[in-house]
Amino acid sequence: MRPINEMTLTFPARSVNEGFARLSAAAFAAQLDPTMDELGDIKTVISEAVTNCIVHAYPDALGSVRMRCRIYPDGRFEASVSDGGVGIADIEKAREPMFSTGGAERSGMGFTIMESFADSFTVRSRPGKGTTVRFTKRISPRAKR
Amino acid sequence: MDVKIERLRESLKISLKGELDEHAARGVLLRFGELESQALPARCVLDLSALGFTDSSGIAVLLGLERRVRDAGGELSVVNIPSQARRVFDAAGLSRIMRFE
């Protein structure tokens, strides 16, 4: 199915851009007329995905994050968030609840939150090459609400 | 993010206003660090009525605060949790660990 509309943003992996990314994704998703809960879910998943790039992908340098959002005629919102960073050696481990390499200030719940808030969610990563997470969120048609 | 810490007669009230993400959490944890040296009242209330957004960074912030209050012999209550934050906290099972009102 071809998207109705799409957008791509590239920005430096700075923490100040976490808010920018989720607000941009929410503004784009607004074309599908989502409910507040649906919009909250999208912002939450985007925030987790972008934070992972910022906290984990580039330990020694300031890299960039690419966020691509698409909307489809059947009411699906789809986004992918990619970095060209260190990658994840063991994705299964990274997805375990409470597992974190980020220290006591991180909960280790990022992947758990993404999985529970998205309708579908995939992670692809190659050590040394980078990581891409992709998710979809179905926006309910207004007539059915 | 605005962090307001009020000392009431027999309790401490902390209010968070704005969006809580990894960026904002650093400042919040710094403010909570100020509580370390002070005697904490037995009752501590975290008011989230003005919390516009949170992600899993908020989970770590709540767990850290709860531990700090418990270590000081007190109890933390989290009040006025907006629905988006509630969904995030529920996904982590936080209501089993601390008191939500």
Q: Which of B23, B55, B64 sits opposite A16 (nearest CB)?
A: B23
Q: Which two tokens stand for residue B82?
A: 């907006």
Asked whether residue B39 carries a pLDDT value surpassing 80, the answer given is no
Is residue A53 within 8 Å of A81, Cβ to Cβ?
yes
Mean residue pLDDT of chain B comes to: 92
Positions of E strands within B1-101: 2-7, 11-20, 43-54, 75-79, 99-100
Q: Tell if the CB–CB gap between A18 and B21 is shorter than 8 Å.
A: yes
A52 touches chain B (CB under 8 A): no
Is residue B61 within 8 Å of B35, Cβ to Cβ?
no
Selecting among A17, A18, A22, A48, the annotated active-site residue is A48
d(CA B65, CA B98): 10
A56 touches chain B (CB under 8 A): no
A-B CB pairs within 8 A amount to 77
- Tell me how close the Cα of A65 comes to any Cα of chain B, in angstroms: 16
d(CA A121, CA B91): 16
* pLDDT tens per residue across all 145 residues of chain A: 999 999 999 999 999 999 999 999 999 999 999 999 999 999 999 999 999 999 999 999 999 999 999 999 999 999 999 999 999 998 988 888 888 877 767 888 999 999 999 999 999 999 999 999 999 999 998 776 6
CA-based end-to-end distance of chain B: 22
d(CA B52, CA B41): 27
The answer to whether A48 is a known catalytic residue is yes
Those residues with Cβ within 8 angstroms of residue B28's Cβ, 6 or more apart along the chain or in another chain: B1, B3, B16, B20, B61
pTM of the model: 0.94
